[in-house]
Amino acid sequence: MPYSIMQAGQSTKNKATGSLKTLSDLEQNREMTNNNLDQQQKSAQLSGAGSGAMIGTQIMPGWGTAIGAAVGFVAGSL
């Protein structure tokens, strides 16, 4: 009889450990996904700023570059 109680305790412990591992894996996946999304957002902002700066430079070098970069950055943030 004590043997089956010990087995039940070990089984419960193993299930709990497995659940914690699953939760840990899910949390790591969530963190990686969030980091990837942040990186994509930054890339879009910089790409927009670069494109805006190029267009602004073609229209009006100097001020157009700065304004185009700012508008492109904002557009890339959307």
DSSP string, the chain: -HHHHHHHHHHHHHHHHHHHHHHHHHHHHHHHHHHHHHHHHHHHHHHHHHHHHHHHHHHSTTHHHHHHHHHHHHHHH-
Tens of pLDDT along the chain (78 residues) come to 566 887 888 888 889 898 999 999 999 999 999 999 999 999 999 999 999 999 998 998 889 889 999 999 988 887
Indicate yes or no: pTM above 0.75.
Answer: no
